[in-house]
Amino acid sequence: MAFLQIAHLEKSFGTTRVVRDFDLSIEKGEFVSLLGPSGCGKTTVLRMVAGFETPSSGAIAIDGRDVIALRPNQRHIGMVFQAYALFPNLTVAENVAFGLKVKRMPADLRAARVREMLALIGLPDLGNRYPFQLSGGQQQRVALARALAIKPHVLLLDEPLSALDARIRVSLRAQIREIQRELQITTIFVTHDQEEALSISDRVVVMNGGVAEQVGTPFEIYNRPATRFVAQFVGTLNLIEADVIAPATGTVRIGTTEVSLGRPLPAGRVTLACRPEAVSLGAAEGRPLLLWAEIGKVEFLGAVIRLRAQAGRTALSLDMFNRPDTPPPAAGDRVQVSISPADLLVLEA
């Protein structure tokens, strides 16, 4: 049995079902993200695990022990909130020591543990500061130290980065992951930022409308989205309308181009989808789907250049690596682009 087991979890507020039949198993030491738009129920799931919300039905077990009936202060869970959850009247050291003091740990052990935690988050000298004297990123690191000080069985992170500047967000998420690996602590991370979820997690749960649409590794979520919602929510996606002209061989017509996808398709109209990096400039071996397109915009993103092009009625985004010896096409150029049928996802129409 998994370390953290959530089964058939339901939560309704009044007549609104915010979480529906939610299942999730998390192994010990695993880092799992709940990803979805606001109102998708991800925070409610987290708060039910923490014990702040009582499930309408379903089970939550940690280390084989049912925790539904336990109060939050009995569950032995660490939690980091969105922002500003440090106690403003206590210093950094006192904040970190809070959970230990409440558990009546002797003062000398407590001090040692606080020193250890502050060293872990890389702020060994700020113990005597008050929260208002820290930057937002430092505050969240202290909040992490405070949550970890009690050596919790599970760590819950509720959008801990969303109130921070973009640059700090990236460096802090790397630090969080590093600390999590070092301590081997089972972690649930809630976010609405797909890049964040993909970059940090062992597995990602994409949620929508209270339902887990897909559970998988970042690689699976990105490359093999199970539903149209997942495909569109995670990463950029090109949508191509196509008519199926031979369902058995999977031959479709896009504009005037006909190409076989090599797998059976339903008859009628389908929507094909592909990532910007699956679209290449120019013709190439193994890429039988060739389209003429007019370059609209050229966006320089650093290592990658994103081109916006129009192929008939289809708008395409495509990425090319930025190499000094191959300058990108200019806006208005007519170019040929190619896609491998293997990279095309078929979305239910």
Partner 1 sequence: MTDATLAEPVAPAPVAPAPVAAESPAPRPRRTAALALKWLGVAPFMIFALLFLILPTIHIVLGAFQTPEGAFTLRNLAGLAVPQVVRPFMLSIRLSLLTAGLGCLIGLILAAAVTRGGLPGWIRDAMLTFSGVASNFAGVPLAFAFIATLGRLGLVTVVLKEVFGINLAATGFNLISFAGLTLTYLYFQIPLMILIITPALDGLKREWREAAEILGASGAQYWRMVALPVLWPSLLGTFALLFANSFGAVATAMALTGSSLSIVPIILFAQIRGDVLQDPHLGYAIAFGMIVITGIANLVYIVLRSRAEKWVR
- Residues of this chain that bind partner 1 (CB under 8 A): 50-52, 71-73, 75-79, 81-82, 84-90, 98-99, 101-103, 130-132, 143, 146-147, 150
- If the CB atoms of residues 102 and 248 are measured against partner 1, the closer one turns out to be 102
CA atoms within 13 A on the CB side of 230: 28
From 295, 293, 251, 292, select the one nearest 272 (Cα to Cα).
251
User: Least CB distance from residue 76 to partner 1, whole Å?
Assistant: 8
User: Least CB distance from residue 250 to partner 1, whole Å?
Assistant: 53
- If the CB atoms of residues 78 and 225 are measured against partner 1, the closer one turns out to be 78
- Distances from the Cα of 244 to the Cα of 11, 80, 202, 271, angstroms: 42, 50, 37, 10
User: Least CB distance from residue 77 to partner 1, whole Å?
Assistant: 6
- If the CB atoms of residues 139 and 191 are measured against partner 1, the closer one turns out to be 139
User: Least CB distance from residue 177 to partner 1, whole Å?
Assistant: 22
What single DSSP character describes residue 226?
S
- If the CB atoms of residues 3 and 130 are measured against partner 1, the closer one turns out to be 130
Side chain identity at residue 38, one-letter code: S
User: Least CB distance from residue 12 to partner 1, whole Å?
Assistant: 19
User: Least CB distance from residue 75 to partner 1, whole Å?
Assistant: 7
Q: Please give the Cα distance from 85 to 94 (Å, whole number).
A: 14
* Count of beta carbons in the 10 Å neighbourhood of residue 239: 16
Residue 311, both tokens: 């192929």
- If the CB atoms of residues 114 and 234 are measured against partner 1, the closer one turns out to be 114
- Distances from the Cα of 152 to the Cα of 10, 74, 75, 77, 333, angstroms: 25, 11, 9, 5, 58
Q: Please give the Cα distance from 154 to 72 (Å, whole number).
A: 12
- If the CB atoms of residues 149 and 230 are measured against partner 1, the closer one turns out to be 149
